[in-house]
Amino acid sequence: MPLPTAIDDAPTRAEILACLRGDDAAEVAYWLAEADRVRQASVGSIVHLRGLIEVSSHCRRLCTYCGMRAPNRNVKRYRLTPEEILAAARNVVDAGLGTIVLQAGEDPGLTESDIARVIQGIHDMGDVAVTLSLGERNVRELATWRRAGANRYLLRFETSNRKLYRRIHPALRDGQTSRLPILRTLRELGYEVGSGVMVGVPGQTFDDLADDLELFRELDLDMIGVGPYVPDPDTPLGRKTASAGAGPVANDVATVCRVVALARLLLPDSNIPATTALAVLDRKRGYEQALVAGANVVMPNFTPTARREGYRIYPGKAELPGYLDPLFDLEARIRELGRTPGHVRGDSPRFERRRSVPPTMKETDR
């Protein structure tokens, strides 16, 4: 079924599938260049820098892909105190960045009131946006944090294939078998909403990825995070991958860049990061390849260095360059691409546009 076109020359379902498969190099090159052009025309040349703080590596979940899953004993678990989080946030603000991202495992020890206090404390530091990525928290917590001033929330739906999702993201006793209802709640609460998927999860197909892209559009996402699945030998899925091999979709930089490009073409004014997992696969050019294929955001890591290796969602993350100085080389590399490192809040133009449309028009708009 072809997608309804958002822009006149947006790719059809058939073109999306052909681009994802990547058999025709000229065709792929065409879509990547189109995505770069559309990125320039709709969100411009700024690459927004977000200061990432990984606030806790405790997690109650059993996700079979993630190194931080509850049963993994080889993780140095930590939880930053509100004061430690605020000190790290101060470093981000002092570096002149306009957004602070607080990310963590799904950790009930990060309490509703502590996080609310941290959000308020960050806003007291100046005009910075606060993004949360704390997993599947309840409506009350999400509402409290929004009221405290949280601006954005990142929660990847990981894959739109429900069977695959249930396999890699087992439900807990709360019985929640999808993240989609939470994404809708976040929208209703007035958050800028971000989601995304991993690429190259064993068992994932190209059709699944095309469905993922369609769902990005349906959810009208303001932010879209797409990264390669990185096998972690300390996880059930990682152990299996090592013996059976991945496929049919490759978990490599090239495939992720094709998904990034298609996401840009389908949602021209969303914010799309060049994700950390890309840099793990290719330290020298991981970010760059996504930045010239439609991405416009990078998230340097401001987690206190002593804690860094404890945030083990997959191996290889802690050894990235920028370990001591998160901005090391990054701004120069962005300028080398002819782009400008962003030191502003960088709200999603898609979010701004939706907000500026009167509600009556919005209904007819759908």
Contact 228, 353 (CB under 8 A): no
Distance CA 192, CA 225 (A): 13
Name the E strands within the chain.
Answer: 46-56, 99-104, 129-133, 152-154, 192-199, 223-228, 273-274, 297-298, 340-342
Among 106, 208, 222, 269, binds ligand SAH (CB under 6 A): 106
Looking at the Cβ atoms of 119 and 168, the one nearer to ligand SAH is 168
- Torsion angles phi and psi, residue 21, rounded to 5: -65, -35
Smallest gap from residue 315 Cβ to ligand SAH (A): 8
Looking at the Cβ atoms of 34 and 270, the one nearer to ligand SAH is 270
Among 13, 21, 156, 217, binds ligand SAH (CB under 6 A): 156
Identify the residue whose tokens are 């950790």. 107
How many other CB atoms are there within 10 angstroms of residue 281's CB atom? 17
Which residues from 1-60 bind ligand SAH, rule CB under 6 A?
Answer: none
Residue type, 233: P
Among 16, 118, 230, 291, binds ligand SAH (CB under 6 A): 230
Q: Does 133 bind ligand SAH (CB under 6 A)?
A: yes
Contact 75, 67 (CB under 8 A): yes
Helices (H), 124-231: 139-148, 162-168, 180-188, 206-219
How many chain residues interact with ligand SAH (CB under 6 A)? Answer: 18
Looking at the Cβ atoms of 156 and 239, the one nearer to ligand SAH is 156
Which residues from 305-324 bind ligand SAH, rule CB under 6 A?
Answer: 313-314
Looking at the Cβ atoms of 229 and 351, the one nearer to ligand SAH is 229
Distance CA 141, CA 138 (A): 5
One DSSP character per residue, 316-333 reads TSTTSTTSS-TTTTHHHH
Among 98, 105, 194, 342, binds ligand SAH (CB under 6 A): 105
Smallest gap from residue 266 Cβ to ligand SAH (A): 20
Contact residues for ligand SAH (CB under 6 A)?
65-66, 103, 105-106, 133, 135, 155-156, 158, 198, 227, 229-230, 232, 277, 313-314
